[in-house]
């Protein structure tokens, strides 16, 4: 096992280039299974979730050719659902997109019940409601989810919650269905727009992605024979924005889309940081102690839950008492126990946490409990006085490409070492 060792206290300065979006890539890769042809996907992030997905798709019959570490050619003309992939699919949550894409392509789709970050209960009732509305039968038993159908017919589906996963999964199942499907109260995250753009590039007919009503007109076939570049990662961009503020540094983030970070920019300006965007770059700098703020995480375009832990580090050392309300996940404050080991004064209760700002954090051995908690601890280690050791960093590697190299190029004294 490996750990990250960080000698903190140095402001992070310089520029960093953001990779392709993890949450778009782990949906676009299964979406490619809908193509009866060949396609090229570029700007894939070089992270373990992507590598795992490619392994699963290959075992379903796809022919894979890596052009380089970020670009892949997929031949998905011969796809066969198999039980071989069940164990692999249990390793992360995004494997449930195989249900939507295999259901759209064949009469049976089967995955292991999804794993993923421990954020509390992560039901998939809205996904199942969508598949059943299209005419599928879904069985959840023996740790597997099996969806079968004779044919899929378009329908109108209202989502009780603007679920990212359910929106994407229903979109995948609708692309080759007969007739038109309408998803009402759809999620609007940038990665949903990216999946819709990918599918439309390959021959689908999806309209309204990015709004709360998405219409999918079923087509006969996706021919592919095109290439597509994955959207820059909104969450990685926000992670570096918050790292700049927490370490009182000055970071220019390249290859990003500032519009995707409007909620984060607004909060950073509110607490006294500086943010400037131009073209595909965002510059964030801060040379004084930030002030307190209250945060409520919401579906896009609200403040993203996936940047809540990273924002928690900034509030932990801001001047005054701040409150975070986590409205998306039941249990996303586990990282606060780790920050308290570093001298923070945070009280978390259910879906809210109170941050009594302290002057500074102090290095300590801490444990990453999930992907974004790990990113938060990395930022905390850079901001803290002294040395921080972060364990369980496999969580971080799931979603951040070459994370210690990127932080090192910003001036962080960080090493990845064997435990």
Which residues carry out catalysis? 117
Reduce the DSSP state of residue 259 to 3 states and report it.
helix
Q: Which residue is nearest to ligand EPZ (CB)?
A: 165
Shortest spacing between CB 372 and ligand EPZ, in angstroms: 5
Q: Which is nearer to ligand EPZ, 128 or 286 (by Cβ)?
A: 128
Reduce the DSSP state of residue 280 to 3 states and report it.
coil
| Continuous segment of H or E residues that includes residue 88 | helix 86-89
From CA 271, how far away is CA 312, in angstroms rounded? Answer: 13
Where are the alpha helices (H) located in 137-253, listed in sequence order?
Answer: 164-174, 190-201, 234-246
Beta strands at 345-349 and 294-296: parallel, antiparallel or unpaired: unpaired
Query: Which residues partner with 199 through β-bridges?
Result: none
Q: Which is nearer to ligand EPZ, 165 or 224 (by Cβ)?
A: 165
Q: Which is nearer to ligand EPZ, 228 or 329 (by Cβ)?
A: 329
Shortest spacing between CB 312 and ligand EPZ, in angstroms: 14
Shortest spacing between CB 45 and ligand EPZ, in angstroms: 11
Shortest spacing between CB 117 and ligand EPZ, in angstroms: 5
Tokens representing 183? Answer: 């998803």
CB 366 within 8 A of CB 337: no
Q: Which is nearer to ligand EPZ, 194 or 404 (by Cβ)?
A: 194
> Within 13 Å of residue 182, how many CA atoms lie on the same side as its CB?
6
CB 217 within 8 A of CB 254: no
Q: Which parts of this chain interact with ligand EPZ (CB under 6 A)?
A: 22-23, 26, 93-94, 117, 122-127, 161, 163-166, 187, 305-306, 328-329, 371-372, 399
Q: Which is nearer to ligand EPZ, 64 or 140 (by Cβ)?
A: 140
> Would you list the DSSP string of 321-348?
EEEEE--S-S---HHHHHHHHTT-EEEE
Q: Which is nearer to ligand EPZ, 94 or 109 (by Cβ)?
A: 94
164-174 and 22-31 are packed helices; what angle lies between their axes, rounded to 10 degrees? Answer: 20
Q: Check residue 277 and report its DSSP letter.
A: E
SS3 content of the chain, % helix, strand, coil (to 5): 35, 30, 35
Reduce the DSSP state of residue 182 to 3 states and report it.
strand
Q: Which is nearer to ligand EPZ, 155 or 252 (by Cβ)?
A: 155
From CA 213, how far away is CA 411, in angstroms rounded? Answer: 44
- Residues in CB range of 212: below 8 A, 6 or more apart: 162, 184, 185, 186, 188
Beta strands at 222-229 and 35-42: parallel, antiparallel or unpaired: parallel
Shortest spacing between CB 78 and ligand EPZ, in angstroms: 27
Centre a 10 Å sphere on the Cβ of residue 142 and count the other Cβ atoms it contains.
10
CB 126 within 8 A of CB 99: no
Q: Which is nearer to ligand EPZ, 85 or 305 (by Cβ)?
A: 305
Count, residues in the chain:
419
Q: Check the CA dihedral 397-337-304-119 and report its sign.
A: positive
């Amino acid at each position: 096992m490996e750990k990250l060792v960080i000698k903190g206290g140095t402001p992070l300065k310089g520029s960093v280039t953001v990779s392709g979006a993890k949450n778009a890539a782990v949906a676009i890769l299964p979406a490619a299974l809908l193509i009866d042809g060949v396609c090229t996907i570029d700007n894939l992030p070089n992270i373990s979730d992507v590598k795992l997905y490619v392994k699963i798709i290959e075992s379903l019959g796809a022919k894979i050719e890596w052009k380089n570490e970020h670009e892949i050619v997929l031949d998905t003309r011969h796809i066969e659902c198999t039980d071989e992939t069940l164990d692999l699919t249990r390793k992360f949550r995004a494997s449930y997109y195989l249900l939507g894409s295999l259901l759209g392509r064949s009469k049976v789709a089967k995955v292991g019940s999804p794993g993923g970050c421990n954020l509390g209960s992560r039901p998939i009732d809205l996904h199942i409601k969508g598949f059943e509305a299209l005419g599928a039968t879904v069985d959840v038993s023996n740790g597997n989810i099996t969806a079968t159908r004779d044919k899929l017919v378009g329908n109108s589906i209202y989502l009780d919650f603007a679920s990212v996963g359910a929106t994407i999964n229903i979109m995948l199942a609708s692309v080759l269905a007969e007739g038109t499907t309408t998803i009402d109260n759809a999620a609007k995250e940038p990665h949903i727009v990216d999946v819709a753009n990918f599918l439309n590039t390959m021959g689908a007919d999806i309209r309204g992605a990015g709004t709360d009503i998405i219409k999918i007109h079923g087509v006969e076939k996706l021919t592919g024979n095109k290439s597509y570049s994955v959207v820059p990662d909104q969450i990685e961009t926000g992670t570096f924005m918050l790292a700049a503020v927490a370490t009182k540094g000055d970071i220019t983030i390249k290859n990003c889309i500032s519009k995707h970070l409007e909620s984060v920019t607004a909060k950073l300006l509110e607490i006294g940081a500086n943010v400037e965007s131009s073209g595909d770059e965002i510059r964030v700098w801060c040379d004084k102690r930030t002030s307190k703020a209250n945060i409520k995480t919401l579906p896009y375009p609200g403040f993203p839950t996936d940047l809540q832990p990273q924002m928690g580090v900034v509030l932990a050392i801001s001047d005054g008492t701040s409150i975070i309300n986590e409205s998306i996940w039941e249990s996303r404050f586990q990282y606060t126990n780790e920050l308290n080991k570093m001298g923070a004064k945070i009280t978390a209760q259910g879906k809210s946490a109170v941050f009594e700002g302290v002057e500074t954090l102090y290095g300590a051995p801490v444990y990453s409990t999930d992907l974004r908690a790990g990113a938060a601890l990395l930022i905390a280690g850079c901001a803290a006085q002294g040395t921080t050791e972060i364990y369980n960093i496999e969580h971080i590697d799931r979603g951040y490409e070459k994370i210690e190299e990127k932080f090192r190029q910003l001036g962080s004294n960080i090493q990845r070492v064997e435990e």
